[in-house]
Chain A
Amino acid sequence: MHHKTLAELSAGLAAGEFSSVELTRHFLERIRAHDERLNSFITVTEEQALAAAEAVDARRAAGEAGPLTGIPLAHKDIFCTLDVRTSCGSRMLDNFVSPYDATVVERLAAAGMVMLGKTNMDEFAMGSSNETSCYGPVHNPWDTERVPGGSSGGSAAAVAARLTPVATGTDTGGSIRQPAALTGITGLKPTYGRCSRWGMIAFASSLDQAGPMARTAEDCALLLSGMAGFDPRDSTSAERPVDDYLAALDRPLDGLKVGLVREFMAQDGLHSGVAAATEAVLEELKRQGAEVVEVSLPHAHLSVPAYYVVAPAECSSNLSRFDGVRFGPRCEDPKDLEDLYKRSRSEGFGAEVKRRILIGAYALSAGYYDAYYLKAQQVRQLIAQDFRVAFEQVDLIVSPTTPDVAFPLGAKTDDPVAMYLQDIYTIAVNLAGLPAISIPAPAADGLPTGFQMIGNHFDEACLLNVAHRLQQATDWHRHAPEGF
């Protein structure tokens, strides 16, 4: 049952082959049996899941069922969930029980989805390996000595190991796409503003975006259809209708113009097996009638530097709310208010979060604002401009998702800059606010690799269409890790 896709499970539920309660029990049992080796869940909501499954089975019996009704899912622990702990992977929120549901959570529940639990993540989504979580690292199901990527590493590992059919993630600089690539699943970061950020704990507000993580593009299309849409509670939510992603899935690729990013293929440190995997996907695109040309993103090499000003600056502001007064643990015997702030924050945040808050506070401080923050915003404009020029020539921009396969646990924890460079192919997309998907490409060294496709603003339908056509003709996305 767990090898079925969301689309197949949906058909099975509709045909009465199994109930949502049976499905939910099956996945809860799988979590119990396998998650000790992965640590992909922070919280498993067994009782609530079974109650919700019973309720949606009743809804189905009453004739109210859509394509998502009765399907179990896991939410990244960055999404607020009413009456369920929402930790964001941080000691700071270890005992935080949300007073409301995030819009994304609320919408998927309204569509009849059943939450199995909350997945592990890098603390406040700051990390590329899931090693900064205060609940310990997540292990990659393909090799449990390796990282699953991050920050949505728990969601990625759980989907890859078939502990849940699909999961939600968030992507500020690659946090859906990079773990999707390293665990061999499909993950989509939508256009900035496509999914509501309301109730999604903020890291960098001009970059954060929620998206679906699943095994196929079709499942991503189904899940995104349930997540996307205007939300008046999010001031930057896009006020435009959601495309019919499913209707667009089967369009033939004849005449599609695809641009391969020249600079990314020439990047130092690109694993030869990852480059070969990208070439294999390009061959399949050509076989299906697409034209592949090279495009240039001449400022993309500055995306990591610009990001490490913009994101920390926004995070230093967003995370000022964690002050030992309104949330979280408070230090012992504060001698005054300032001491309370300082010690509570220092005890509640981990090392990576502190580094980013400090970089952000520095970049925004008097005398340095122009040199760092303003400069980064100007470079951001140049990066966005590169994409605008490229999209005058092509429909779709492609590259590897990551320069390498999953690395061993601990390999980069002492070198923040080496860790940041993991996101060298993904970060420019967030700065420009574009949608992008990572799909499994042929393995390298026996480990998954990812192929990234970047679309123009609000063209998720095109990404899902091309990804689906590729997956109809290949089996790279069908491989499952052994032992789960």
Chain B
Amino acid sequence: MSLSSDDVHKIAHLARLAVSDEEAEALCRDLSNILGLVEQMAAVDTSAIEPMAHPLAMHQRLRPDEVTESDRRDLYLRNAPAAENGLFLVPCVIE
């Protein structure tokens, strides 16, 4: 699988990454090489194999629906680049 510069720009948009045309060129090469490695998997027939999502056969635990954490909003907001009145600030989304 060889990716084009167009493909790279599309994937970059899905991942919300800004990629310049220059970067896209290098990424075409690198990502195509990685996909070349990945495609070695095509050599093995897996049609009857149950996919394995997780290393241990375990079920999601449930816990009682109780408050267990204290209010630490200010601590969590401390790392935000812009916060005010307990809210994260972003550019205007709705006029």
Which residues of A are in contact with B by a Cβ distance under 8 Å?
95-97, 99-100, 192-193, 206-207, 232, 235-236, 238-239, 299, 301-302, 304-306, 308-309, 316, 320, 323-330, 334-343, 345-346, 349, 354-355, 357-363, 365, 372, 374-382, 384, 415-417, 420, 430-434, 457
Contact = CB atoms under 8 A, between A and B. Distances in A.
A-side interface mostly: helix
B37 A334 contact: no
Given A305-B39, A362-B31, A382 B80 contact: no
A408 to B, nearest CB: 21
A346 B14 CA distance: 13
A164 B33 CA distance: 39
Given A95-B79, A193-B55, A308-B37, 19 more contacts: A206-B54, A236-B58, A238-B58, A305-B38, A327-B79, A328-B81, A341-B16, A342-B16, A345-B16, A354-B17, A355-B27, A358-B27, A359-B31, A361-B15, A365-B14, A384-B55, A417-B33, A430-B55, A433-B54
Given A325-B90, A327-B79, A417-B33, A302 B44 contact: yes
B44 A346 contact: no
A379 B41 contact: yes
Nearest to A312: B34
Interface in B35-87: 35-42, 44, 46, 49-56, 58, 60-61, 63, 72, 75-76, 78-82
B6 interface: no
Interface string B5-23: 0001001101111110000
B61 A235 contact: yes
A52 B93 CA distance: 47
Contacts of B11: 358, 361-362, 365
A383 to B, nearest CB: 9
Nearest to A374: B51
Contacts of A375: 41-42, 46
B30 A381 contact: no
A372 B35 CA distance: 9
Given A358-B31, A365-B14, A382-B46, A420 B37 contact: yes
Nearest to B53: A377
A284 B78 CA distance: 55
Contact of A306 (B16, B27, B41, B75): B41
B-side interface mostly: loop
A305 B37 contact: yes
A431 B54 CA distance: 8
A121 to B, nearest CB: 19
A337 B39 CA distance: 36
18 contacts: A99-B75, A232-B61, A238-B58, A302-B40, A305-B39, A305-B40, A308-B38, A309-B38, A336-B91, A337-B90, A358-B27, A359-B38, A360-B15, A362-B14, A376-B38, A378-B51, A381-B46, A417-B37
A339 B8 CA distance: 17
A99 B78 contact: yes
Q: Looking at B17, B19, B58, B91, which has the most chain A CB atoms within 10 Å of its CB?
A: B17
Nearest to B61: A235
Contacts of A329: 81
Given A206-B54, A299-B44, A357 B15 contact: yes
A357 B60 CA distance: 26
Q: Looking at A192, A193, A320, A377, which has the most chain B CB atoms within 10 Å of its CB?
A: A377
Contacts of B16: 320, 323, 338, 341-342, 345
B86 to A, nearest CB: 13
A324 B78 contact: no
B55 A96 contact: no
B37 A236 contact: no
A325 B80 CA distance: 6
A433 B51 contact: no
A346 B52 contact: no
A384 B39 CA distance: 19
Given A192-B56, A375-B46, A358 B40 contact: no
Contacts of B63: 232
B4 to A, nearest CB: 12
B46 A378 contact: yes
Contacts of A457: 56
Contacts of A326: 76, 79-80, 88
B26 to A, nearest CB: 8
Contact of B17 (A358, A374, A379): A358
A340 B91 contact: yes
A342 B17 contact: yes
Contacts of B76: 99, 326
A434 B46 CA distance: 22
Contacts of B56: 192-193, 236, 238, 433, 457
